[in-house]
Amino acid sequence: MGWARPLDAHVNAHACSAIRRVRWPTARAYSGDPAALALALDTIDTGAHHAYSLEERLFVLMPLIHAENVAMLSRAVVLADEMANDAPPELRDPWAFGAQRVRKYHALIAHFGRYPGRNAALGRRSSAAELAHLAEEAGHGSPLAALAARA
């Protein structure tokens, strides 16, 4: 995409992804996801993300994590593990925990093919298994799952 500065892709990917926080819980919350994913993939595929700090790389990674696509989540797992390995020794545990969360999202998409917590906002019917999952997550203190389970 020819960004003027390497960080431009990071800033733009973060801005696209931020749309979801402003517009949640509506379908419009996810309207920036395709653009954010394209920017993130361009940054990752060119290797430009390696010039970023771990925190900046996390923002580049987020669109892959947000994608309801197992291939994108598979790439995110590899990148999250890479980030955990690149973390300074005193910070490896928190970064490894983040990589573990990415694996959890990967398993969720592999199982359901989508994020059940988005169903209400996107006008999708939840299956009984998805509703059970949302109820379980809400029981573990997830406020987003609790809200989605009530919708």
Q: Which domain holds residue 108?
A: 6-113
d(CA 125, CA 119): 6
What the block records as the tokens of 118 is: 């988005």
Give the model confidence (pLDDT) of 7-26 as tens digits.
565 566 556 656 665 666 67
Give the model confidence (pLDDT) of 73-102 as tens digits.
999 999 999 999 999 999 999 999 999 999
d(CA 15, CA 19): 7
Place of tokens 């797992």: 77
Residue 109, pLDDT above cutoff 90: yes
In Å, how far from its chain's centre is CA 94?
Answer: 17
CATH of residue 23: 1.25.40.10
Q: Is residue 137 domain-resident?
A: no
Q: Is residue 150 domain-resident?
A: no
